[in-house]
Amino acid sequence: MRPLTVPTALVTGASRGLGATIARFLAGEGFELFLTARGGRALEETADALRVFGTEIHTSVGDVTDSRHRTVLRDLVSTAGRLDLLVNNASELGPSPLPPLVRHPLAEFEQVYRTNVVAPLALVQELLPFLEQAGGQIVNISSDAAVGGYPGWGSYGASKAAFDLVSLTLAHELQDRGISVVVVDPGDLRTTMHQAAFPGEDISDRPLPEVTMPFWAWLLHQPRDAVSGRRFRAQSERWEVPA
């Protein structure tokens, strides 16, 4: 078991994009990391690149919608005995090109909800004892689509809106257990998922995920109880969304 002075974090969807960027920041902060994603090769490449920071990196390839994989993640985290930070970053966009809701395949609509709402909640349930042990923090990645009502973004946006409410409810319910919960909208980023939303279009005007680094440096050094229950925008001049 690692010394309790070493902070620990689990990041989902950590193989590339925003997840890999957050993992890189945390490795630089000295976190012992548990990383998961569906793509094995990309996940291992990310983990190898982070080991230069000298911290322990554990990987597990799998889908967070799979209960067996969530059990594997719980068992991995149990080796540390605590979890200081859970970053629910893994997300499902839905069909590409993005269809209007009136033509959206319902099976894929349900899959978006399983990935973006049900799976992260299930992961919180699995990892709750370790988060409580550490007085940990849950960071749930949202989107401006949760409030925008953008054509074509209906399933993704609705799932993120539901996830926002799940997060706020968890913040209230877990307060007495010493666990904080925050929501973060990272803004438009030049990622594989964002490209899938605009197939064949040039998205090079969007910034890379590294643009969010100043925000993470700020958020993860705030008193956890002071930020719990709040929603933040990582690319805004004012990070906190007004109530």
User: What confidence tier does 197 reach under pLDDT thresholds 50, 70, 90?
Assistant: confident
> For the chain, how many structural domains are there in total?
1
Is residue 50 in a domain? Answer: yes
Is residue 241 in a domain? Answer: no
Is residue 242 in a domain? Answer: no
User: What confidence tier does 210 reach under pLDDT thresholds 50, 70, 90?
Assistant: very high
pLDDT reading at 1 higher than 60: no
Range of the domain at 164: 8-233
Is residue 195 in a domain? Answer: yes
Give pLDDT tens digits for 157-192: 999 999 999 999 999 999 999 999 999 999 988 888
Q: Which residues are catalytic?
A: 156
Average pLDDT value for residue range 211-237: 94
What per-residue confidence (pLDDT) applies to 23?
Answer: 98
Retrieve residue 182's tokens: 């925050």
Per DSSP bridges, beta strands 85-88 and 8-12 are parallel
Is residue 131 in a domain? Answer: yes
CATH number at residue 29: 3.40.50.720
Helices (H), 8-153: 17-28, 40-50, 67-78, 106-113, 119-134, 145-148
Is residue 243 in a domain? Answer: no
Is residue 26 in a domain? Answer: yes
User: What confidence tier does 243 reach under pLDDT thresholds 50, 70, 90?
Assistant: low
Contact 69, 4 (CB under 8 A): no
